[in-house]
Structures are given as structure tokens and as C-alpha cells.
Structure 1
Amino acid sequence: MTITLYAWATPNGRKISVALEEMELPYTVRPINIGNKEQFQQEFLSISPNNKIPAIVDPQGPDGQPISVFESGAILLYLGEKTGKFLPQSLRDRVPVLEWLMWQMGGFGPMPGQVHHFAALQSESERQYGLKRFSAETRRLYAVLDTRLGKTEYVAGDLSVADFAILGWAWRHERHKVDLADYPNVQRWYQTMFARPAVQRGFDVKLD
């Protein structure tokens, strides 16, 4: 049975399309045009009460009944549990996946997202203030990631849902005013990820 992905062409939407492709799960896309405020429609709010994309509906949930899941991190963990892929079974091996997934959710997403916001402002003074504040933190996060990837091929050791989560935001590095050449380990990982056919399919699928 086919999962329905409610998404738009954003970093958080791409996390899930990549994961679905890598996990070889059948799915269909229901675009939610956030520019037209479709995320506030009651039909979508019944699935995602925080009025944010992405969300999924899986007609074949854990008990054989339909289930909806919102918040990209929760969706990745659900899909990893459902398939047994990209989410280690042992607690010791799972911990770094959870650490780096939470790192993305708490920092490497909110901070670059602020760069997107302030870069689009018309007020020069507000734009410069915001870019100075959040660009510095964004670059610090890239440096943290670069250090980590200097020690391991993927962020949590083996390929995992944490890589899919982080890739969705690293994909927007140009908007973050970040040159990946300044972070060679991130650049190597980024190229490795995009060399994967399923990742390419996840980014090619039309979400808008």
C-alpha cells in the first residue's frame, strides 16, 4: 500500500522524499503549497496540527491500520522503525544516529532557516543584523559537521536517517552563504550522498 507524502520543495520535504526512495517504499506526493497557505487548510491540519510540512499518511501502520505522522524527525524515525533500514537495532549503534538527528532538528535547520529569512528582508539594517547573527552560528554548525565527518564516512558511522535529515539542509548551502569548499569533509560527504541514485530520485521528485 502506498504512503502519501504531504510536502513542498523545502529542505524538510526533501529529507522525507530521499528517505522514502532509499528505503524503497512506494509513495505518492500531495503538494502543500505553503506560499498559498495550504498548510492552514483543515484537511492538512487534521494530519499536521502544527501546520508545517512534511507529514505522511501510511495506510499500513504498525497494527495494520492507517497512521499519520508529522514533524520530519518523527517521520524519519517512524520509517526507520517500519523498514528496519538506516536505524540501527542496538541501542549503542542507535545513539549516534539519534544524536545527529537531534543536532539537525535543533540547530542545523533553525539557524540556516533564519539566514533564509533575513536574506530576503528589504530593510538593509534588519537584513545585515540578522545575517551577521545567524550566519556566524550557521558556519559554526558547518564546522561541527566538518569535524565529525573528518572521523567517519557518514554522520553517525553507517548511512542513517541522520544523513537524510542533514542533507536536506546542506542542499541549501548556497542560500546559507556557505561555500562547501571551506568544509572539505562536508563537501566529500555531500558529493557521496548525491552520488546515490535514490538520493538523486528523492531530490528529483516533484514536491511543488
Structure 2
Amino acid sequence: MKKSVVLSVVVAIVLTIGVIFAAMSILNSDSGSTPEDVNAEGTVAEETAATEASGQAEVGEETRSSNSAPDNMPQRPDCPAEPVAGVELPCLGGDMGDAKATDEGISIVNIWAWWCEPCREELPYLEQVAESHPEWNVVGVHADRNAGNGAAFLNDLGVDLPSYQDDSNLFAGTLALPGVIPITLLVVDGEVQERFIRPFTSAEEIETSVTEALG
């Protein structure tokens, strides 16, 4: 075999190998994710799906409005004396009243925010429970820095439940609550006895859940 033919064959083989390696490099760069990346994305997707399935809203800076509060804070009912489950919070649109302290006896504490759609449906049911069970302290905690919007939201709903204001996630952070709302707590003599991490769909469902948790 002539040397020129052998040389041509060698060159062809080298070029073929080079093309194969180049193609593999392009494929690897296009994939753009390691197994760890895929697992992380899958975890986020699962958590998001779980939140959507529960009918709750996620608490986060992206969902909190930066709009300014109304010039005049809407007037709201006074709150029972603090603390709430051991956490001291100001009253939303009202003062600290002379009523029995929240951390005395049985309290139903609902964490909500003015932008939360499930809260819009649930809060009137809590109002009904408060009217049916005067022996329970039924109160809210507004989990958003815009207090004015929170007070206006309750007034628009016609809900007279007293509510505390949490500007900095102090309440949920202290009690290690998940970053979703609404959440309802059963608090007995200042201690959290039960956490209902879901929206309620009727006053009867709230009454039944609380009664069963009380034993």
C-alpha cells in the first residue's frame, strides 16, 4: 500500500475522532444540569404542587405588596390583652382592650394576609365561630407589613374579629410555622395545642376540628 494512501486513512480517522468528541461536548453543554440540579428542581416543584393542592398561599416577599398604606388607618375592634401564644404583637387598627387576655383559656388564632384569596373565604367562617362560641377567643394575626391594607381588607369583608399586626414575620418565626397561609392555631392557656395548616371551608368544619383537638 502506498504511503499516501496510508496517510489519508490516518488523517480520516483522526478527523472522525475529533468530530465525535466535539459532538459529545455540545450535547453535554446543552443538558446544562447535573443530577443534583435535577433533584433540587424536582423538590421545588413538589413543594409548589403541595402548596397549590392545599389551597393555601405562600408567604414571601414576591407576594407582599409595596403599596403604601392608606393615609388614615381604618378603625378596627380592640384586641384582647397580649401576648398571643407567647408572642407580643400590636393590635391592627385598634387598642389593647380590657377583654380576657388571648393567652388565657381557649383561643383560636388565624394567620392571614390581605392579599390571600383563601383567607377571604375563610375569615367569615371564623367570625361565625366567634359568635357561636363566646367562650373562645377568636383572633387573627395579619402576616404582612402593610397594616392599612389589612385593616381595610377586614372592613371590606365585614369581619369584626380583632386582629394583631405582624410586620416582620415575628409570630410565624417564633412558633416555627411553615411559610403558607392561612394557618389556624388552637392555643390553650398560651400553649399551642394544635396547628391546622389548611384553609377551612365552613364554620362547622372549624368547630368540629377544634372540639376534637380539645378532646
TM-score by length of 1: 0.28
Please say which structure displays the higher CA radius of gyration: 2
**Structure number with higher strand proportion:** 2
**Structure number with higher helix proportion:** 1
TM-score by length of 2: 0.27
Structure showing greater relative contact order (alpha-carbon pairs closer than 8 Å, 6 or more residues apart):
1
